[in-house]
C-alpha cells in the first residue's frame, strides 16, 4: 500500500495547524508499515514546520495526549440523562462503540505511547488529561446535586474505563449486548466499598 505524500507546507491558522497535526498523528498510527511516530515525521505529514509542534505542544507525549483527549471529547461524550446510572451507561455505550472502531483502538495505542518519560512530559500529559478528568467529575457533581451517591473517581476509572481500555489493547471485543450495563451496575453495587477505590 502506497503511503500518502506529505502535504505541501502553506500558511495555516492555529486551528488548521492543530487539525492537520492531529490528523497526521492518526494517519501515522494507522500506517500498517509501522511509520516512525516522531515530531519531524508528524510535521512532514501535516505540512507544518516541526518547530511549530514543539512550540505548541512541547513534546511528542503532550501532543499524543492532546490528540487522545480531543478525539475522546468528540467520540465519547458525557451525556446528561438525568440519573447517575443513565449518564454512566450512556458514556460506557459510547466507549464500546469507540473501541469497536479501528480509530478508537489506535487512540488506546496513543495513550500508551503518550506515557511520560520525564517530569516535564508527565506535567504536560497530566494537563491535557485533566480536561477529561474534569468532565468525569461533572457527572459526579450532577449526581450529588440530585441527591445520588456517586462512586469515587478512582472507582470509575478502575471499574468502568479500565476494562474498556484493556479490551481495546488486547483486541477482545466487548459482548454484543449488555456490557455497558454490566460494568455500570457492578460499579454502582461496589461504590464506596473498602479496597474498590
Query: Do the beta carbons of residue 114 and residue 107 sit within 8 Å?
Result: no
CA-nearest of 91, 113, 89, 105 to 184 is 89
The C-alpha angle 67, 70, 72, rounded to 5 degrees, equals 105
CA-nearest of 196, 92, 125 to 154 is 196
**Mean of pLDDT values over 160-166:** 89
Please state, in angstroms and rounded to a whole number, the distance separating the CA atoms of residues 34 and 78. Answer: 33
Please state, in angstroms and rounded to a whole number, the distance separating the CA atoms of residues 95 and 116. Answer: 24
What is the pTM (predicted TM-score) of this model?
0.75
Q: For 172-195, how does the pLDDT look when each residue is reduced to its tens digit (9 = 90+)?
A: 888 989 999 999 999 999 875 544
Q: In this structure, what C-alpha cell is assigned to residue 144?
A: 450529588
Write the burial class of residue 129 (CB in 10 Å: 0-12 exposed, 13-18 middle, 19+ buried): middle
Q: Is the pLDDT of residue 132 over 90?
A: no
pLDDT grade, residue 144 (50/70/90)? very high
Element (H or E) spanning 166, and its range? helix 162-170
What does the pLDDT read at residue 158?
94
What does the pLDDT read at residue 29?
86
What does the pLDDT read at residue 183?
96
What does the pLDDT read at residue 116?
67
Q: How many residues does the chain have?
A: 197
Q: For 46-79, how does the pLDDT look when each residue is reduced to its tens digit (9 = 90+)?
A: 999 999 999 999 888 888 888 888 888 887 778 8
Please state, in angstroms and rounded to a whole number, the distance separating the CA atoms of residues 115 and 121. Answer: 8
Q: For 79-126, how does the pLDDT look when each residue is reduced to its tens digit (9 = 90+)?
A: 899 999 999 999 999 889 888 888 888 777 777 777 766 677 667 667
Alpha helix positions (H), the chain: 14-30, 39-46, 50-57, 60-75, 84-100, 102-113, 119-145, 153-156, 162-170, 179-189
Amino acid at each position: 500500500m502506497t503511503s500518502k505524500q506529505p502535504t505541501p507546507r502553506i500558511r495555516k491558522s492555529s486551528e488548521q495547524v492543530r487539525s492537520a497535526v492531529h490528523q497526521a498523528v492518526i494517519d501515522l498510527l494507522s500506517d500498517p508499515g509501522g511509520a516512525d511516530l516522531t515530531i519531524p515525521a508528524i510535521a512532514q505529514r501535516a505540512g507544518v514546520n516541526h518547530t511549530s509542534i514543539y512550540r505548541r505542544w512541547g513534546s511528542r507525549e503532550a501532543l499524543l495526549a492532546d490528540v487522545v483527549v480531543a478525539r475522546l471529547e468528540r467520540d465519547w461524550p458525557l451525556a446528561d440523562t438525568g440519573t447517575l446510572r443513565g449518564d454512566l451507561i450512556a458514556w460506557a455505550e459510547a466507549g464500546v462503540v469507540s473501541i469497536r472502531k479501528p480509530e478508537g483502538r489506535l487512540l488506546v495505542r496513543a495513550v500508551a505511547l503518550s506515557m511520560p518519560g520525564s517530569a516535564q512530559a508527565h506535567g504536560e500529559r497530566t494537563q491535557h488529561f485533566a480536561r477529561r478528568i474534569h468532565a468525569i467529575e461533572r457527572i459526579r457533581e450532577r449526581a450529588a446535586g440530585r441527591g445520588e451517591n456517586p462512586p469515587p473517581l478512582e472507582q470509575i476509572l478502575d471499574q468502568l474505563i479500565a476494562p474498556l481500555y484493556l479490551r481495546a489493547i488486547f483486541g477482545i471485543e466487548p459482548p454484543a449486548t449488555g456490557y455497558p450495563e454490566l460494568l455500570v451496575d457492578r460499579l454502582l453495587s461496589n461504590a464506596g466499598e473498602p479496597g474498590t477505590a
